[in-house]
């Protein structure tokens, strides 16, 4: 049986998962005060991450054709660029994600649900500027909560990396689903749009794995930094194509031989361990440290150890890292590190850097021209670090009632002395830590200070505002570069 494209509204039945996603987007009522509050923080945090990334992304953000004038265009945060919805989605999605400072959610597949804000906000802003007074930050927050949920629920038990696909396929999926409601598609059209995601081409994970993270040319840009933006842009395109009347594929998942399940998933169906609610927004990690998420608790343990190791780094014989399986897959890296993408995805570099620096890593610490990148002591310590999976840590990582992302560091000296293991189970930024909210606020104030006119005023106002009265266009305008007085 070959899946055939059918016009939206034909009445043919779409695969159950496609219908379930549409029903969640269109019907689910969000009643959790925590979810609404966390969505406010997520939106503010994403804008801060975007502004932080502007210098690193200057070579590819902005209009495709220089000088393009876009009526009702999206003002890209921290820049003078006014962009059409598709290029805006690419640029904002890339900016939010580029420096690995954006939020994250664990599972068999690790991903970054704030990637979806890169698609939602530019389209909402475009519609708002066109005069739709119903496009408010309440709607944006609702769609963010639902996009987080769709992506996160599918991440929990489905490892796309095991079949070579990158996790941004879920960004494309979640963004397409919520944009369908945002632009006013019917339910049948939403089903069609979602089906197009599964019928689409999907990026390979190779750009996150050695040896393809290496910098081949002097000015090469790691694709993993703009992969989320690419997914956001594609979601916008698919939704607008369906709105123009293009058809969908009812059995995009289940068609024999040619459907997604038979092509990529060994004929099996996705596992959804929990129903779509607001779980992901309420339980995602806020990245307060620029380090790959599975290594943050190791970095925090290294910060705690740094005082005890002052003046003794040369005397270290070995550093043993007890960790979870995900860290072994993603950041267990030895040998030469060729660029920032290599370094911020290397457990050994992050730990050694923190011990030598005696402070938290910053984005610039991973760059080739950083004082740390060729530091001989860091390289020496990297060679002394070993990593090993602890099955209990892996089990607690996947247990939704525990939600640990733990690492333990044990330092042994050449004279045989050994320090007690330092274990951090729930790293800084964990949703269950009481210091996470204030940490997110400090991060926002720091990263937006050079652009936003009144960062603390923007934060406080949005955290207390009646979201239904905040027009998207007005909210977005606060993140344009402040003018000189």
pLDDT per residue over 448-476, tens digit each? 998 999 999 999 999 999 999 999 999 99
State mean pLDDT over 29-51: 98
Question: What pLDDT was estimated at residue 271?
Answer: 96
Local confidence band at 376 (pLDDT 50, 70, 90 cut-offs): very high
Instruction: Please give the Cα distance from 303 to 357 (Å, whole number).
Output: 9
User: Which pLDDT value is given to residue 163?
Assistant: 94
Strands of 367-456 (E only): list them. 385-389, 407-413, 422-424
The C-alpha atoms of residue 410 and residue 419 are separated, in whole angstroms, by 6
Q: What does the pLDDT read at residue 213?
A: 62
Range 19-46 average pLDDT: 98
pLDDT digits (tens, 9 = 90+) for 145-166: 999 999 999 999 999 999 999 9
Which DSSP string corresponds to 58-127? TTT-S-SSTT---TT-EE-TTSS-EE-HHHHHHHHHHHHHTTS-S-BB-SSS-B-GGGGHHHHHHHHHHH
Tokens, residue 351: 């730990």
What DSSP character marks residue 432? Answer: T
3-state class percentages of the chain: helix first, strand second, coil last, to nearest 5: 50, 10, 40
pLDDT of residue 297: 98
Band the pLDDT of 389: cuts 50, 70, 90: very high
- Interior CA angle at 60 toward 121 and 39, to 5°? 25
Q: Which two tokens stand for residue 221?
A: 């840009």
Q: Give, rounded to a whole angstrom, the gap between the first and last alpha carbons of the chain.
A: 67
pLDDT band at 104 (very low <50, low <70, confident <90, very high): very high
- What pLDDT is recorded for position 208? 77
Residue 205: pLDDT band (50, 70, 90) is confident
Q: What is the pLDDT of residue 210?
A: 66
The reported pLDDT for the residue numbered 238 is 98
pLDDT band at 224 (very low <50, low <70, confident <90, very high): confident
Asked if the model's pLDDT at residue 426 lies above 70, the reply is yes
What pLDDT band is residue 169 in, cutting at 50, 70 and 90? very high
Domains identified in the chain and CATH numbers: 16-281 (1.10.4100.10), 293-424 (3.30.1330.120)
pLDDT on residue 217: 40
**Strand-pair category, 385-389 with 316-323:** parallel
Per-residue confidence band for 400, with pLDDT thresholds at 50, 70 and 90: confident
Q: Is the pLDDT of residue 11 over 60?
A: no
41 Cα distance to chain centroid = 14
| pTM score, whole prediction | 0.91
On the question of pLDDT at 214 being above 80, the answer is: no
């Amino acid at each position: 049986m070959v899946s055939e494209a059918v016009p939206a509204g034909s009445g043919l039945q779409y695969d159950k998962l496609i219908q379930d996603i549409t029903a969640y987007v269109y019907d689910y009522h969000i009643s959790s005060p925590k979810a609404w509050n966390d969505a406010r923080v997520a939106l503010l945090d994403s804008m801060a991450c975007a502004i932080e990334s502007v210098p690193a992304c200057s070579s590819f953000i902005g209009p495709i054709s220089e000088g393009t004038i876009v009526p009702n265009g999206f003002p890209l945060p921290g820049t003078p660029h006014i962009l059409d919805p598709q290029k805006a989605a690419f640029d904002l999605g890339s900016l939010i994600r580029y420096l690995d400072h954006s939020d994250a959610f664990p599972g068999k597949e690790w991903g970054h649900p704030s990637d979806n804000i890169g698609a939602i906000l530019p389209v909402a802003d475009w519609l708002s500027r066109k005069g739709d007074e119903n496009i408010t930050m309440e709607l944006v927050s609702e769609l963010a909560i639902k996009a987080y949920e769709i992506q996160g629920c599918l991440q929990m038990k489905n490892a796309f990396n095991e079949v070579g696909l990158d996790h941004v396929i879920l960004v494309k999926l979640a963004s397409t689903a919520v944009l369908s409601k945002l632009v006013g598609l019917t339910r049948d059209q939403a089903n069609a749009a979602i089906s197009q995601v599964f019928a689409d081409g999907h990026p390979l994970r190779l750009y996150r794995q050695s040896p393809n993270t290496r910098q081949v040319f002097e000015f090469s840009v790691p694709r993993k930094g703009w992969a989320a933006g690419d997914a956001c842009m594609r979601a916008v395109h698919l939704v607008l194509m369906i709105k123009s009347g293009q058809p969908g594929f009812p059995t995009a998942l289940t068609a024999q031989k040619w459907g997604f399940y038979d092509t990529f998933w060994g004929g099996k169906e996705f596992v959804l361990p929990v129903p779509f609610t607001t779980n992901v927004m309420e339980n995602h990690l806020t990245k307060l440290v620029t380090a790959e998420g599975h290594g943050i608790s190791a970095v925090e343990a290294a910060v705690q150890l740094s005082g005890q190791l002052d003046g003794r780094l040369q005397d270290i014989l070995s550093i043993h890292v007890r960790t979870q399986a995900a860290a072994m897959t993603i950041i267990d890296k030895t040998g030469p590190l060729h660029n920032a993408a290599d370094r911020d995805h290397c457990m050994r570099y992050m730990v050694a850097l923190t011990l030598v620096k005696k402070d938290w890593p910053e984005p610039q610490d991973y760059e080739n021209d950083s004082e740390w990148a060729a530091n001989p002591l860091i390289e020496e310590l990297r060679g002394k670090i070993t990593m090993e999976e602890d099955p209990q840590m892996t089990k607690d990582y996947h247990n939704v009632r525990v939600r640990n992302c733990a690492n333990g560091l044990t330092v042994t000296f050449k004279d045989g002395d050994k320090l007690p293991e330092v274990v951090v189970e729930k790293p800084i930024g964990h949703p269950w830590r009481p210091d996470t909210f204030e940490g997110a606020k400090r991060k926002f104030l720091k990263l937006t200070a050079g652009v936003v006119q009144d960062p603390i005023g923007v934060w406080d106002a949005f955290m207390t505002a009646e979201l239904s009265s905040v027009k998207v266009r007005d909210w977005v305008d606060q993140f344009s570069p402040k003018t000189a007085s």
